[in-house]
Amino acid sequence: GFARIDHHRALRKGFPEVVYCEGKTDEQAAAILVRLCERGDGPVLGTRASAGVYERVRATVPDVEYHPLARVVRLMRGVDSPKGHVLVVCAGTSDLPVAEEAALTAEAMGARVERLVDVGVAGLHRLLSHLDRLYEARVLVVVAGMEGALVSVIAGLVDKPVIAVPTSVGYGTQFHGVTPLLSMLNACASGVGVVNIDNGFGAGYLAALINRLGD
Amino acid sequence: GFARIDHHRALRKGFPEVVYCEGKTDEQAAAILVRLCERGDGPVLGTRASAGVYERVRATVPDVEYHPLARVVRLMRGVDSPKGHVLVVCAGTSDLPVAEEAALTAEAMGARVERLVDVGVAGLHRLLSHLDRLYEARVLVVVAGMEGALVSVIAGLVDKPVIAVPTSVGYGTQFHGVTPLLSMLNACASGVGVVNIDNGFGAGYLAALINRLGD
Amino acid sequence: GFARIDHHRALRKGFPEVVYCEGKTDEQAAAILVRLCERGDGPVLGTRASAGVYERVRATVPDVEYHPLARVVRLMRGVDSPKGHVLVVCAGTSDLPVAEEAALTAEAMGARVERLVDVGVAGLHRLLSHLDRLYEARVLVVVAGMEGALVSVIAGLVDKPVIAVPTSVGYGTQFHGVTPLLSMLNACASGVGVVNIDNGFGAGYLAALINRLGD
Amino acid sequence: GFARIDHHRALRKGFPEVVYCEGKTDEQAAAILVRLCERGDGPVLGTRASAGVYERVRATVPDVEYHPLARVVRLMRGVDSPKGHVLVVCAGTSDLPVAEEAALTAEAMGARVERLVDVGVAGLHRLLSHLDRLYEARVLVVVAGMEGALVSVIAGLVDKPVIAVPTSVGYGTQFHGVTPLLSMLNACASGVGVVNIDNGFGAGYLAALINRLGD
Amino acid sequence: GFARIDHHRALRKGFPEVVYCEGKTDEQAAAILVRLCERGDGPVLGTRASAGVYERVRATVPDVEYHPLARVVRLMRGVDSPKGHVLVVCAGTSDLPVAEEAALTAEAMGARVERLVDVGVAGLHRLLSHLDRLYEARVLVVVAGMEGALVSVIAGLVDKPVIAVPTSVGYGTQFHGVTPLLSMLNACASGVGVVNIDNGFGAGYLAALINRLGD
Amino acid sequence: GFARIDHHRALRKGFPEVVYCEGKTDEQAAAILVRLCERGDGPVLGTRASAGVYERVRATVPDVEYHPLARVVRLMRGVDSPKGHVLVVCAGTSDLPVAEEAALTAEAMGARVERLVDVGVAGLHRLLSHLDRLYEARVLVVVAGMEGALVSVIAGLVDKPVIAVPTSVGYGTQFHGVTPLLSMLNACASGVGVVNIDNGFGAGYLAALINRLGD
Amino acid sequence: GFARIDHHRALRKGFPEVVYCEGKTDEQAAAILVRLCERGDGPVLGTRASAGVYERVRATVPDVEYHPLARVVRLMRGVDSPKGHVLVVCAGTSDLPVAEEAALTAEAMGARVERLVDVGVAGLHRLLSHLDRLYEARVLVVVAGMEGALVSVIAGLVDKPVIAVPTSVGYGTQFHGVTPLLSMLNACASGVGVVNIDNGFGAGYLAALINRLGD
Amino acid sequence: GFARIDHHRALRKGFPEVVYCEGKTDEQAAAILVRLCERGDGPVLGTRASAGVYERVRATVPDVEYHPLARVVRLMRGVDSPKGHVLVVCAGTSDLPVAEEAALTAEAMGARVERLVDVGVAGLHRLLSHLDRLYEARVLVVVAGMEGALVSVIAGLVDKPVIAVPTSVGYGTQFHGVTPLLSMLNACASGVGVVNIDNGFGAGYLAALINRLGD
Ligand SMILES: Nc1ncnc2c1ncn2[C@@H]1O[C@H](COP(=O)(O)O)[C@@H](O)[C@H]1O
Ligand SMILES: Nc1ncnc2c1ncn2[C@@H]1O[C@H](COP(=O)(O)O)[C@@H](O)[C@H]1O
Ligand SMILES: Nc1ncnc2c1ncn2[C@@H]1O[C@H](COP(=O)(O)O)[C@@H](O)[C@H]1O
Ligand SMILES: Nc1ncnc2c1ncn2[C@@H]1O[C@H](COP(=O)(O)O)[C@@H](O)[C@H]1O
Ligand SMILES: [Mg+2]
Ligand SMILES: [Mg+2]
Ligand SMILES: [Mg+2]
Ligand SMILES: [Mg+2]
Ligand SMILES: [Mg+2]
Ligand SMILES: [Mg+2]
Ligand SMILES: [Mg+2]
Ligand SMILES: [Mg+2]
């Protein structure tokens, strides 16, 4: 076969292998997802998945979900009731798909997730009027494109870990996300860990691992 | 000779040629500055000047000033009493030399200049407790290294032009100022014009031109 | 909802939130624009808007305009008669969309705007025969692709603020606008503030803020 | 003065302002550190500090420590007995200064820290023979130069958060740490958050925040 | 004609000119391939070839093969029975096309080729359970996208030459293969030679030259 | 020995091998230069040469010259009286060393060379008042740092070949000459060939080859 | 109108304005070309022109030519019989469009042009067997993609100016022509001037200017 | 201690751990080297070693060698008489230190090594007059700075593996070796594997592994 599924991963990492569907045909992606669904009794996750992948998986696994904005295929089998408190904050409307990928991933890993959207720095009062929500979280995922200044502002306000996700939202010298990535890596406030551009999955995963420590 | 001074510049641009002393020997830089001092009855400015340049100029022109932090040689001849209101804001202690170069330049061009220092985003309250000073300015120069988020925050609060100056303060992926430069070019708030990395001179010059419009 | 409109912005910044339509669906963009039109009695601006966005907005707001070259949706409600003098200069025919975005934005903010087009440095006499027009402006927006040398030439001639807009017009090492951006940041003439590549909106906005100071 | 200390930070962030001494004179750095020592009853930290800074601080604050390898000045006042379990892993001998900066920071924030050094991927058995130590940690800081592959290998083995620190150890296309940075951002294993090149401080800080959640 | 075939190459290099079909029309590519097939009695290879090229060649040369995954057109004329042992290892399912291009090339040059797929570092046990296959090879081709850490791990385990092929599989800061390229050039383990991104052909060619030395 | 002098070069290229002294010890550089002087009856050139190299050569070859600004060692043996007309133009005082390296090289190859210095675009009248000198040249070498706009302006005015030399004069985003290099490669005016950053030698050499065509 | 044609250019530069059709609509490009054809009695050139542009121009100007490979629209009105000798050399079949743009441009400027194609360095004998053709030329245009080594080899053999044109032919780290551009700028052989990536027009133009000097 | 020597490496990789001395103190480097010398009966190698490291090792291990040009410390204990044939070719005099590091490494691994120096492409006859030496080698290491064209030329002539080493010799856009690196990765001739900039060690190591296959 074309794939060697890492069935051992749930044991080792506390969560089964997640299928990155981009660069695979719909058939390949669906086949791997179905195998994962059929074999285990835990959750299954596919990212960057087209509706076509979802249709193919649903034919065999009726209880699978599809989240078109985030392009996530998800099976919530064996997931306990949500625990802890992950807050996913996003700067602008266009960052929503990435933010949602993060939220859906963290949920699949058992986290209770809240969302706070469109609170970018251009209108700071929108953020400052939700300080309480920032303070309540156990770990924060901050998703921002353009120049990514939201991360610095939030990390300056809370005493919890902040996972920063740069997005490719912008143009010209935004360089498809390089600008907020650099901005986040150099945030003048402390307590920030950064993931790859548009990597909502990675941020949600890391946030969920951190969130579990507080249980 | 090695230089063809643009004596026409004061007429054309409203300010005489400014001498960029880096890459010139102390002798060359001083010679050009002395010629400018002797010829005109207006102000003279030299940037990136060593104390050695200053010593040489002072031998001939006793009323010349030297500002070691900003490395500026300045003669305030024929400068009217300061007018308008340029506010120079800087994020951290290490950004001071660049901020000071901006302030000294704007002053030489007749602007009244105020300074607000060490109000970086990591401790937002330091900035928010000076909102009134931000609101009073006619034009703002914002100087920041690290990720430069201070520009976005300030530009989101005021309705005046903001001149953004990225500095090379930082390390690693700060890339000698590239990170705040990109950040400022992509600021989610509007009304921002950006100058070269560490170019306090350019920012002060532009701010003074803008400041004059309000007279 | 997917958006948290910053209704406070007109108070704070002197102009309401502007909708950047790229990366939003036509439906999303139109919905936000309609909400802004319905709520306020001031101008409304949408940039990077397709004709589809316009059609949707016009269904509810009949007096909205569409400028296809600049891809701008605009409502000139509550805009006073134009004041001051912003001059938008552009180097080549292909830079027109960006130049027009700048001009339309400045107009929406109350500025009187003039245009001077296709006066690139390859044929310098085209520019030199319009020196009077350069001298009359209160603030200049200079839009150029290729190597962007027009900015240095103009800034060397006038004593007013110059807002420089690099465009992505060119190929190969023009790197989608990086070359004129760098060129403008390093202009040997003083008094230049730079905005992001193809950011006509940002330049027009900043020019209008500066223009207001002279009223 | 030249600095506006953020005395509010311990309340807001759970740890007082940390002094980044690079780009400050020894006198400036020492003065700020002394003010922080004198004012609070909590810990004080200075990074990238020369021995000269230390000497100056010790004159006033005798119980201050100096760690020459990491270039850290530290006062462990008011720090509870170490809790939790942060494991700092480093790939090669030359990565030690950065690893040590991380460890000292986390300790100052109350974490119990263990170290595992010179276990780079070129000799994988060195790492595999310490799997138990990897499994015991609550959060891991992995410090690596060259190509940074150690992060992917470790993150593939544990189910805990991994903070990845690229170092500038290497030459040529290592590009002063850019290569391991990119490598870590693209790690094929999940659960990784990345900090700036050579930013041991940032990694230790984040690890300590995460470590606290498990208390 | 538009091409000057290097018919001398088989003599000089031990293998005839290989046709890189990208950037040529199907007609051009097929015409050159047919000329090569008709003239010599040795193997013929075309890379990055569409099915359309294949159809055109097959019309004249019935025994030509097509490998759609690798996009290779191949004629195995005059190839001796496979000798030696080249092992092509690939990290993920999406790297298969490049790995297959390498394998098909080496085979055309007379090498015996084995394949080991989907053994990326995220699940290290998949690789470690095939150590014997690694040890048996005379030369290894390692194909990996994402961060390319598989190369360092394998090169640390074997005492044979490793040819490393970075692929463009990934997103964001993977920069279309730049990240694994840099990673492989800086591998902390020795004995690695790197080829261009996605250059399966070049890796297979080099591996076959090396493999011949052991005959 | 450590060098294999290309004595055949004068025949093949019309000028003997030129010694690039950087990266060689003074002893090595001088030894090669002396060998060239002793063997031929033509000119000899050494670039990037320290005074130490010169001293060593002069001990054996008394008629050798040294030009400290350009760091050129030169022997004008067998050079005919200057012919044709190469004009070397330079933008600022700091570009002089590179301009001089170009001029000295072209002279050694038999060209008559004129110089026009400090005529940068910031004060355009300085250039426009020398149009006649531009028009008289057979080929022009234009040397500029900062943003290099001088090349576009000159190439728009003359109908002769322009050799453009970017210099590393500037700071921040001038990136050690990358900005004027890009600017020159994208000059909107035609008839421009570009050489490496600070490569006065290469520009002078090419200009001299072109100049010979007009004899 | 949208364009300000530089009718003065033929006088100033010895050749009328050339229309760069990319980024203009077919209608715009054709309208400008027709205006140039109707007004002057000299040649007219349009580059990067689609067949649609040609059709539109031909409707009014029947004797206009179209060269689809090079995408050039050309009117050879008033061009004298070809003079001198420009040799256009190209490395591979895929570089032909750029080479042809160069050749067509030089011809329109009155040069006699010869072509030598597919003589890349991978099969050096193809080039060495045409040394006589290299020696006969007055100026050479060398067009190459991949790594562009052909330029160094040719410039090492001839004593005439070499205009180097990097092309975007290649993949991965060829970076759309950046690799041969850098290679050509750093050619170890002298006498090379470089133009922008894929800029056949610029190379042909410069070669024709140089060629004229020998008349 | 600060180092965890990989004593198992000789078994696994066929050669003991090599000490990279840069970034270690002389004391650290010497201590590790002495430990390796004392423990094994095989060869020991230290790269990038200062004379100070050598002095310290020699105090304990009298038969250790030092090669100042290559900065290599070497103990040839237990090395069999040289076998096979590795040819190290270098383009210019300044590339010698890297070439020598390669040669010394391959010798330490048992290879018979020949050297061919200063045969760069600018004077091709120097190379072509040594074709026989190229043809005799089993594997070639080609070391070149500037644009690195030598690799393409040689790889087009031989049917043996070529290990390409870019060096940082050059200036401006040579970018400390990036230009020849890119050039070598995109060589139009086949059979090339590339190592890091200035990595003579890596090239010699790989060449020796390949050379062994032919024994
Ligand atoms: N959106 C995503 N971004 C980054 N990594 C992902 C993403 N989705 C899945 N992954 C990881 O990529 C690996 C999939 O590799 P593959 O063998 O190509 O399916 C899995 O082990 C996941 O940990
Ligand atoms: N610190 C500075 N940064 C940027 N430009 C400067 C600076 N100081 C002076 N300049 C400008 O650089 C030009 C000096 O060029 P030069 O002929 O080399 O002295 C002057 O015309 C100034 O406008
Ligand atoms: N293919 C080309 N590449 C670069 N420059 C060109 C090309 N074709 C025409 N040009 C130049 O670009 C200018 C056209 O600019 P525009 O006003 O946009 O038509 C002309 O002055 C030409 O000198
Ligand atoms: N000059 C060199 N360039 C690249 N790698 C080297 C060099 N010298 C030694 N090495 C490798 O670097 C590793 C040394 O790492 P360390 O533990 O820091 O001494 C060894 O395993 C060698 O394989
Ligand atoms: Mg919004
Ligand atoms: Mg501070
Ligand atoms: Mg035009
Ligand atoms: Mg080690
Ligand atoms: Mg897989
Ligand atoms: Mg000057
Ligand atoms: Mg060919
Ligand atoms: Mg030489």
Convert the pLDDT of each residue in H120-151 to its tens digit: 999 898 899 999 999 999 999 999 999 999 99
pLDDT of G1: 63
Nearest atom in ligand 1 to A48's CA? 1
CA distance H42 to chain G (A): 40
* F8 part of contact set with chain H, CB < 8 Å: yes
* For range A139-166, the mean pLDDT: 97
pLDDT at F86: 98
- What share of chain E has pLDDT > 70, as a percent? 100
Contact at CB, A117 and C199, closer than 8 angstroms: no
Neighbours of chain E (3+ CB pairs under 8 A): A, D, G, H
C-alpha span between A61 and A41 (Å, rounded): 13
Q: Where are the alpha helices (DSSP H) in chain B?
A: 9-13, 26-39, 51-60, 96-108, 124-128, 131-136, 149-155, 178-185, 200-213
Residues of F in contact with C127 (CB under 8 A): none
Closest CB to A169: pick one of C17, C23, C32: C23
Note the pLDDT of residue E1: 62
Angle at A110 between CA A107 and CA A115, to 5 degrees: 35
Lowest-pLDDT range of C134-148, D136-150, G151-165, H30-44: H30-44
Q: Residue C7 has what pLDDT?
A: 79
Q: What is the pLDDT of residue F61?
A: 97
User: Residue C114: its pLDDT value, please?
Assistant: 98
**Do C172 and G203 touch, CB atoms closer than 8 A?**
no
Separation CA A146–CA A128 (nearest Å): 20
Task: State the Cα–Cα distance between residues D5 and D32, nearest whole angstrom.
Answer: 8
The answer, yes or no, to whether any atom of ligand 4 lies below 6 A from the CB of H199, is: yes
- Find the mean pLDDT for residues H14-25: 91
Closest alpha carbon to G79 in G124, G45, G32 = G45
What is the position in ligand 2's atom list of the atom closest to the CA of B24? 18
Supply the ipTM of this predicted assembly.
Answer: 0.96
pLDDT tens column, H78-102: 999 999 999 999 999 899 999 999 9
Mutation site, F89, F127, F173, F198, interface B, largest B CB count within 10 A: F173
| pLDDT recorded at residue D14 | 83
Judged by its nearest atom, the ligand closest to the C-alpha of residue E126 is 9
For chain B, the helix, strand and coil percentages under 3-state DSSP, each to the nearest 5: 45, 20, 35
- Atom of ligand 3 minimally distant from the CA of C169: 18
Among F83, F209, F211, F215, the residue to mutate for chain G (most G Cβ within 10 A)? F209
What is the rounded distance in angstroms from the CA atom of residue G185 to the CA atom of residue G90?
Answer: 17
Nearest-Cα distance to chain C for F49, in Å, is 30
**Measured CA distances, D45 to B17, D49, F202 (Å):** 46, 10, 53
Q: What is the pTM of this model?
A: 0.96
Atom of ligand 1 nearest to the CA of A23: 18
CB of F170 sitting under 6 A from ligand 2: no
Q: Measured between beta carbons, which residues in chain A are less than 8 angstroms from residue D202?
A: 190, 192
Residues with CB under 6 A from ligand 3: C 92-94, 118, 122; F 188, 190; G 17-20, 47-48, 199, 201-202
Residue G35 in contact with residue G18, Cβ under 8 Å?
no
pLDDT tens-digit map of F34-72 = 999 998 788 999 999 999 999 999 999 999 999 999 999
Please give the Cα distance from E39 to A212 (Å, whole number): 68
pLDDT score, position C10 = 82
How much is the pLDDT for F144? Answer: 98
Q: What is the mean pLDDT of the segment spanning H162-170?
A: 97
Q: Rounded to the nearest whole angstrom, what is the distance from the C-alpha of residue H123 to the centroid of ligand 12? A: 9
Which residue from E214, E210, E192 is spatially nearest to E14, judged by alpha carbons? Answer: E210
b/e map of C103-134 (b: 16 or more CB within 10 Å)?
bbbbbbbbbebebbbbbbbbbbebbeeeeebb
| pLDDT tens sequence across F62-116 | 999 999 999 999 999 999 999 999 999 999 989 999 999 999 999 999 999 999 9
> For residue A1, what pLDDT band results from cuts at 50, 70 and 90?
low
- Count CB pairs under 8 A between chains E and H: 96
**With a CB-CB cutoff of 8 Å, which residues 142-171 of chain E face chain H?**
156-161, 163
* Average pLDDT of chain H, as a whole number: 95
Percent pLDDT > 70 in chain F is 100
Residue to substitute in F171, F173, F174, F179 for testing ligand 2 pocket (most ligand atoms within 8 angstroms of CB): F171
The torsion angles phi and psi of C192, rounded to 5 degrees, stand at -115, 130
SS3 (DSSP) at C79: coil
Residue E62 has pLDDT above 90, yes or no: yes
Provide CB contacts within 8 A for G74, sequence distance 6+.
Answer: G43, G44, G45, G46, G64, G65, G66, G67, G104, G108
Q: Of D93-97, F38-42, G191-195, which gets the smallest average pLDDT?
A: F38-42
Digit-coded pLDDT (tens) for G69-80: 999 999 999 999
Kindly identify the ligand whose nearest atom is closest to the C-alpha of F32: 12
Under 8 Å between Cβ of C50 and C71 = yes
Kindly give the distance from the C-alpha atom of residue C206 to the centroid of ligand 4, in angstroms, as a whole number.
Answer: 53
Q: Is the pLDDT of residue A104 over 70?
A: yes
Q: With bands split at pLDDT 50, 70 and 90, how would you rate the model's confidence at D1?
A: low
Q: Do G206 and F190 touch (CB under 8 A)?
A: yes
Task: Report how far residue A208's alpha carbon sits from residue A87's, in angstroms, rounded to the nearest whole number.
Answer: 11
Centroid of ligand 10 to alpha carbon of B3 (angstroms): 6
Contacts of A180 (CB under 8 A, 6+ apart): A144, A145, A146, A147, A148, A151, A166, A167, A170, A174, A197, B186
Residue C140: phi and psi, rounded to 5, are: -120, 140
Q: Which atom of ligand 4 is nearest to the CA of H101?
A: 1
**Inter-residue contact D192 to A202 (CB < 8 Å):** yes
Amino acid (one-letter) located at D26: D
Between the CA of G34 and the centroid of ligand 8 the distance, in Å, is 71
Whole-number Å distance between alpha carbons of A186 and A206 = 20
Give me the pLDDT at residue C8, please.
82
Of H4, H8, H199, the CB nearest to D172: H199
**What integer pLDDT is reported at residue B66 of this predicted model?**
98
Task: Check pocket membership of A201 for ligand 1, CB cut-off 6 A.
Answer: yes
Mean per-residue pLDDT, D86-106: 96
């660069």: which residue's tokens? A23
Q: Is the pLDDT of residue D166 over 80?
A: yes
Q: How confident is the model at residue A9 (pLDDT cuts 50, 70, 90)?
A: confident
pLDDT in tens, H67-81: 999 999 999 999 999
Verify whether the Cβ–Cβ distance A156 to B123 is below 8 Å.
yes
Among protein residues, the one with the nearest Cα to ligand 4's atom 8 is H20
Please give the average per-residue pLDDT across C115-126, as a whole number.
92
E181 touches chain G (CB under 8 A): yes
Sheet order of strands, H44-47 included? H19-20, H44-47, H72-75, H65-67
A175 contact E CB<8A: no
Instruction: Report residue B1's pLDDT band, with 50, 70 and 90 as the boundaries.
Output: low
